[in-house]
Chains A and B, each alone.
Chain A
Amino acid sequence: MIDLSINTDLTIKILTGFIKTELNRVGFNKTLMGLSGGIDSAVSLYLSARAFGPENVLAVRMPYAKHSSSKTSPQDTLEDAQTMIDDLGVQSMTVEITEMVDPLIDHYEDMTKLRAGNIMARMRMIVLYDQSVPFKGLVMGTSNKTEMLLGYSTIFGDSAAALQPIGDLYKTQVRQLAKALGVPDKVIQKAPSADLWAGQTDEGELGFTYAEVDKLLYLLVDQRYRPEACVEEGFDKAFVERVMGMMRRNHFKRVMPPIAKLSQRTIGYDFLYPRDWGT
Chain B
Amino acid sequence: MIGLMMKIKIALAQFNSKLGDVKANLEKHLELIEEAHKQNADLVIFPELSLTGYVLQDLAYNVALRPHQEDPVFNKLFKASKDIDLVVGFVHEDRRHRFYIAAAYLSEGKTRHIHNKVYLPTYGMFDEGRFFAEGDSVRAFDTKFGRVGMLICEDFWHASLPYLLWLDGADFLLFSSASPGRGLTESPRLSSSLWVEHTNRAYAGLFTNFVVHANKVGYEDGLNFWGGSTIFDPYGELVIRAPDFESTLAVAEIDLNQLHRSRARLPLLRDERTNVVLRELERILGVK
User: B-contacting residues of A (Cβ < 8 Å)?
Assistant: 3, 5-7, 9-11, 13-14, 17-18, 21-22, 173, 271-279
- Choice from B181, B188, B190, B218 contacting A9 with Cβ under 8 Å: B188
- Choice from B59, B218, B222 contacting A273 with Cβ under 8 Å: B59
* Given A7-B185, A10-B184, A18:B58 Cβ within 8 A: no
Contact in complex: B184, A7 (CB < 8 Å): yes
Chain B interface mostly helix, strand, loop or mixed? loop
3 closest residue pairs by CB, A with B: A272-B57, A274-B55, A21-B219
Contact in complex: A274, B188 (CB < 8 Å): no
Interface centre among A6, A7, A10, A279 (most CB of B within 10 A): A10
- Judged by a CB distance under 8 angstroms, whether B28 is at the interface is no
Q: Which residues on the B side are within 8 Å of A13 (C-beta)?
A: 245
* Given A17-B245, A278-B18, A10:B188 Cβ within 8 A: yes
Contact in complex: A279, B18 (CB < 8 Å): yes
Task: Give Cα A13 to B189, complex, Å.
Answer: 11
Q: Which residues on the A side are within 8 Å of B181 (C-beta)?
A: 14
Q: Which residues on the B side are within 8 Å of A14 (C-beta)?
A: 181, 224, 245
Task: Give Cα A233 to B58, complex, Å.
Answer: 43
- 7 chain-A/chain-B pairs, Cβ below 8 angstroms: A10-B188, A10-B189, A273-B57, A273-B58, A274-B59, A278-B18, A279-B19
Task: Give Cα A275 to B245, complex, Å.
Answer: 21
Task: Give Cα A22 to B224, complex, Å.
Answer: 11
Minimum distance in angstroms from B59 CB to a CB of chain A = 6
Contact in complex: B185, A17 (CB < 8 Å): no
Q: Which residues on the B side are within 8 Å of A275 (C-beta)?
A: 221
Known pairs A18-B222, A274-B55; list 16 more (Cβ under 8 Å).
A5-B186, A6-B184, A9-B188, A10-B187, A11-B184, A14-B181, A17-B219, A17-B224, A17-B245, A18-B219, A173-B184, A274-B20, A274-B56, A276-B19, A278-B20, A278-B21
- Judged by a CB distance under 8 angstroms, whether B168 is at the interface is no
- Judged by a CB distance under 8 angstroms, whether B220 is at the interface is yes
Task: Give Cα A3 to B181, complex, Å.
Answer: 19
Contact in complex: A272, B58 (CB < 8 Å): yes
Q: Which residues on the A side are within 8 Å of B55 (C-beta)?
A: 274, 276
Q: Which residues on the A side are within 8 Å of B21 (C-beta)?
A: 278
Q: Which residues on the A side are within 8 Å of B222 (C-beta)?
A: 18
Q: Which chain B residues in 31-51 approach chain A with CB under 8 Å?
A: none
Q: Which residues on the B side are within 8 Å of A173 (C-beta)?
A: 184
Task: Give Cα A273 to B176, complex, Å.
Answer: 24
